Amino acid sequence: MSQKVSPPPTSTNCLPTLVAKERELSWQVASNILVSFRYAWAGIVYGFQTQRNFRIHVSVCGLAIALSIFLHLQAVEIAVIGITSGLVLALELLNTAIESVVDLTVKQTYHELAKIAKDCAAGAVLISALVAVLVAGILLLPPLAHLIVSAL
């Protein structure tokens, strides 16, 4: 019994040419692991190019890790900051994916369930970002305060 493969989905909105070319046949199963990584990287690039909040989170993540290294935090503390920051970035990409699928589904119309899906995805990002700020504050503020006081 053979299954038919459905044709690739069509969309009325225009994606940037670069992403569109790379993703032309993305509805098919990737032929090898390198192609899978290329698709994943295209998603990260798309998020960085189109999502202001993703760029902000990447910047704050980089700053937190750089400050961790500068303050000579222990490896486990840097890892905790990296994990919480990575979670924020991953959830931001999932938020973007959910928003895209919802927009594709409802097109230009309003639907209460679409609003709920988008709001919940954004709420997940917000919670993870607040937890990341809390973790970074707990780990970074004491050595930073000590450094400032000792400089005075």
Band of residue 67 on the pLDDT scale cut at 50, 70, 90? very high
Residue 92 annotated to the active site: yes
Catalytic residue among 22, 77, 92, 112: 92
Q: Above pLDDT 70, what percent of the chain?
A: 82
pLDDT of residue 68 exceeding 50: yes
Query: What mean pLDDT, rounded, does the chain reach?
Result: 87
Domain ranges within the chain, ordered by starting residue: 14-50, 52-151
Instruction: Give the Cα separation of 51 and 11 in Å (integer).
Output: 20
Question: pTM surpassing 0.85?
Answer: no
Q: Please give the class, per CATH, of domain 52-151.
A: mainly alpha
What confidence score (pLDDT) does residue 58 get?
A: 98
pLDDT of residue 74 exceeding 50: yes
What confidence score (pLDDT) does residue 100 get?
A: 95
Band of residue 22 on the pLDDT scale cut at 50, 70, 90? low
**Nearest in space to 65 (alpha carbons), one of 54, 55, 75:** 75
Instruction: Give the Cα separation of 74 and 140 in Å (integer).
Output: 11
